[in-house]
Structure 1
Amino acid sequence: MSAAARLYAAGGVLLAVMPLAMVLANRSSPAVVGLAALAFLAGRWVEDRVALRAHLLAPLATPLAGAALAFLAWALAALAWSPFPTVSLRVLAEFLPTLLAAYLLACLAPGRIPAFAPRLAAAALALGGVLIAVDLAADLALERALGRRVAAFVHNRPALTLDLVAGPVALVLWRRGARLWAAAALAFAALGVLRSISGAAQLGLLAGAAMFVAARLLPRRIGLEFAGLGLGLAVALAPVEGDLLARMMPEAAHERLVQSSSRARVAIARSFGAAVATDPWRGAGTGTSARFAETPVAESLPAEMRVLLGVGHPHNSFLQVWAELGLPGAVLAALTLMLMLARVARLDQPDRAVALGLVACAAAIAFVEHNGWAAWWTAGLGAAISWLREAARPRAETASGKDGPA
């Protein structure tokens, strides 16, 4: 085995076991994805360092990359008016290295992931789903044995990671004729998601599955327009989400969603929405959600609207963009999402359906949960995109007869 092949094998193992690593240590995905990216980077360097530059730079010449880089530039510019620059820098110090690792992985891993890795990933997904289900059924015996915090929500991040990765891994296996492996990956990942207490993970599973079915059954244009409408509304309505839900959500719905703290989530959304309405133009600054109750814009709100600004984030990444980066950040985020859909539109089936399922799953989760700058979330998305690109590589290489830029 050549040096490059050994590095690819190491990277493939790390990429494959990442979901299981998250079950065992629910903050581990940034480190695992970072090491996997370094392994593939080193392998490409050993294999052909001249071509490496094209693999890394070619994707940056696209409109999608231009919009994403403009968004990042605005986020960096927002450091200038952040009232808590240390907090902002700490957020970016966690997010940016993981984003770079995810980019390297998505550029360099496809076409070099070893043949054994998809089945290993399916086994990791299946074992991860089973461990979540069994641990919760056994009153978190695994967490007790490991000497960690005993709380059911420790499996929320792993469940969300299973959500993101299962579909793309199953697509790779399906393309390679391993249909039973693909089915097992999906079934056991779904078991872990459904058994977890994460309403966001379950919503993501439902949204992703529904979008996949719709994209398979509906004409290409209708499915893409539906996805575009959903993303556009998610961005545009984020500042008024709380007010809309407060008016439209019946009390019976709150009773059914009592474990998801729906009343508190609506109140949080209303508070952050009021802050956006007070200063919609530039936002409070990157990463300031962690201390938003202390920002100047929060001090201008009525006392009753400031209480829930101290929860750490608005439980809606689209609203978080508005609150921290204002109208320019929201416009650039929307542009990036639309250009991403344009890229997805060029895919053939079933790649397009799986990609749209991933988009719907991630958007549904982002609309109700987590901090949008979180490194574990970025790492999970990077791994999912890498598997999606891997699914298309064998066909692309066969058509071209050579390995082009990733």
Structure 2
Amino acid sequence: MGRQGRSVAEPATPLAQIAWLVLAAMPLMLAFANRSSVLVLVIAALVAFVGAGLSQGLPVVVEHLRGIVRSPFGLLFLAFLLLALASLTWAHDRPRSAFALAEAFIPALAAIALGAALPRQPERRAVPMLMLCLALAAIEVFVELITRLAWREALGLRATYFITNKPVLALVLLYWPLVPLTKGMARRWLLLAALAGVIAVTVFTSVSGTAMCALVSAAAAFVLALVAPRTARWAVMLAVAASLLVAPLKGELASRLIPDRALDALQSLHARDRVNIWLSFGEVVAQRPLTGTGFGSSAVVVRDPVASEVAADRRTLLDVGHPHDMFLQVWAELGMIGAALVGAALVVLWRTLARLGREQHAAGLAVTAAALMIALVGHGAWQGWWIAVAGAAVLWLWARPPVGGPVVHEEGAR
């Protein structure tokens, strides 16, 4: 996120400090309330916006917002928002699509507001606070898993293992920005290694195969980026681009290339079901290739007239709620136009990553690799909790280390 006329070493006001600390509490809040990330992000945005308005004046904050909107990412975000709004005119269930749009764009707009209102350099307690909250969240989830969610059952709360998946995925995404943010901190590598170990134990104790794949992919991308930055960037970004391009054909490719024995062996992960779901939504793309069926329509596409155009043996699986592939969901709901905007965003992401310093570049690629794995096999694309966590990860990546005095721009990764 770009910003004009503001020093990266500007000290945080009291309300900005509070906003950073609220943001740091997100993983721990998710461990207890697994959809709370949106609320955390919105509260942090409100606190930061009020603080910036009081300390700098509202016109200055508005100018910061305008700078973000005029940036390449900002323009693409605005175009995507306008496309999503326009798609309500051809969506079959407009109230449901409007609700999905609000769920997705409220946390996205909150993250943008934070980018405009927060000083880029958090105060000194924010990063240790984030480390502590990640550790406590990992420990809390681990205890829940090994005690079979005992405290939730004792309180009469919903007690299914899947409720731990959201905080576990947040752990995987929010850990990596700590690497550049802890620069200058005493015993940083020991602390980072210990935290990584705690998170890894929780992830591999969980029932989230997505989180396991995301953690392994992120770690591999991070290590490769430290050794060979350009190779890592090419590998990760080509994987993301290929995933976007082949998404409409993913079901056909998987059904032809993956042996039945492999699908049977992975049945505990519902592998065959996922392939069939990809086939069903791939047919939706084929019927509405340019514009899709409307933002957020995947949840009710089985009631859309397009369902009658899908082969009868594949129609039932349109009722699963989403395609279990975020790229395929973009194609199905917003068609080629939406996919083109996502592709343009990937180009901007490539250029942005290339300009980062070594550790920040490696952390950014790790977050990108983790997000890619989550996008390929995870939940619906527009779930608010997920967009809030991703927005928080971007904000922490965008921040400068709060220790060691003013920070200078590093040479871009090679």
- Output the TM-score relative to the length of structure 1: 0.93
- Matched with 1:210 is 220
C-alpha distance in 2, partners of 1:46/1:301?
Answer: 56
Mapped contact 2:274–2:324 kept (Cα < 8 A)? yes
C-alpha distance in 2, partners of 1:132/1:86?
Answer: 35
Corresponding letter in the other structure for 2:101:
L
C-alpha distance in 2, partners of 1:198/1:132?
Answer: 12
Mapped contact 1:110–1:389 kept (Cα < 8 A)? no
Mapped contact 1:126–1:184 kept (Cα < 8 A)? no
Q: Aligned to 2:208, which of 191, 198, 217?
A: 198
C-alpha distance in 2, partners of 1:251/1:332?
Answer: 36
Higher helix share: 1
Query: Is the deviation greater in 246-255 or in 75-84?
Result: 246-255
C-alpha distance in 2, partners of 1:5/1:145?
Answer: 42
Query: Is the deviation greater in 309-318 or in 222-231?
Result: 222-231
Q: Secondary structure at the match of 1:113?
A: coil
- Matched with 2:101 is 92
- Matched with 2:252 is 243
Q: Aligned to 1:16, which of 1, 24, 35?
A: 24
C-alpha distance in 1, partners of 2:186/2:260?
Answer: 49
Mapped contact 1:88–1:286 kept (Cα < 8 A)? yes
CA deviation digits over 1:103-142, x for unaligned, max 9?
1223433435221121111111111111111211111113
Query: Is the deviation greater in 348-357 or in 187-196?
Result: 187-196
Moved over 6 A (4+): 393-396
Shift of 1:250: 2.4
User: Do structure 1's residue 147 and structure 2's residue 156 form an aligned pair?
Assistant: yes
Go from structure 1 to structure 2 and tell me whether the alpha carbon gap of 1:103 and 1:176 turns closer, same or farther (over 3 Å shift).
farther
Tell me how many residue pairs correspond in the alignment: 396
- Matched with 1:382 is 391
Q: Secondary structure at the match of 1:149?
A: coil
CA deviation digits over 1:22-48, x for unaligned, max 9?
010001000011101111111111221
Corresponding letter in the other structure for 1:77:
A
User: Do structure 1's residue 6 and structure 2's residue 14 form an aligned pair?
Assistant: yes
Go from structure 1 to structure 2 and tell me whether the alpha carbon gap of 1:146 and 1:344 turns closer, same or farther (over 3 Å shift).
farther
C-alpha distance in 2, partners of 1:90/1:219?
Answer: 41
Shift of 1:284: 0.5
- Matched with 2:51 is 43
Corresponding letter in the other structure for 1:22:
L
Go from structure 1 to structure 2 and tell me whether the alpha carbon gap of 1:130 and 1:253 turns closer, same or farther (over 3 Å shift).
farther
C-alpha distance in 2, partners of 1:184/1:93?
Answer: 39
- Matched with 1:26 is 34
Q: Which residues of 2 match residues 57-68 of structure 1 at below 5 A?
A: 57-68=66-77
Q: Secondary structure at the match of 1:284?
A: coil
C-alpha distance in 1, partners of 2:195/2:180?
Answer: 10
User: Do structure 1's residue 365 and structure 2's residue 374 form an aligned pair?
Assistant: yes
Go from structure 1 to structure 2 and tell me whether the alpha carbon gap of 1:104 and 1:154 turns closer, same or farther (over 3 Å shift).
same
Mapped contact 2:52–2:118 kept (Cα < 8 A)? no
Corresponding letter in the other structure for 1:217:
V
Corresponding letter in the other structure for 1:253:
A
C-alpha distance in 2, partners of 1:398/1:164?
Answer: 24
- Matched with 2:7 is none
- Output the TM-score relative to the length of structure 2: 0.91
Go from structure 1 to structure 2 and tell me whether the alpha carbon gap of 1:183 and 1:54 turns closer, same or farther (over 3 Å shift).
farther
Mapped contact 2:264–2:272 kept (Cα < 8 A)? no
Work out the percentage of aligned pairs sharing the same amino acid: 36
User: Do structure 1's residue 282 and structure 2's residue 291 form an aligned pair?
Assistant: yes
Corresponding letter in the other structure for 2:337:
P
- Matched with 2:167 is 158
Query: Is the deviation greater in 387-396 or in 297-306?
Result: 387-396
Mapped contact 2:182–2:401 kept (Cα < 8 A)? no
Mapped contact 2:145–2:206 kept (Cα < 8 A)? yes
Q: Secondary structure at the match of 1:373?
A: coil
Go from structure 1 to structure 2 and tell me whether the alpha carbon gap of 1:170 and 1:143 turns closer, same or farther (over 3 Å shift).
farther
Q: Which residues of 2 match residues 84-123 of structure 1 at below 5 A?
A: 84-111=93-120, 113-123=122-132
C-alpha distance in 2, partners of 1:219/1:60?
Answer: 29
The CA RMSD over aligned residues, in Å, is: 1.9
User: Do structure 1's residue 345 and structure 2's residue 354 form an aligned pair?
Assistant: yes
CA deviation digits over 1:148-185, x for unaligned, max 9?
11111110111111111111134312453451333333
Shift of 1:96: 1.5
C-alpha distance in 1, partners of 2:356/2:383?
Answer: 29
- Matched with 1:321 is 330
C-alpha distance in 2, partners of 1:43/1:185?
Answer: 32
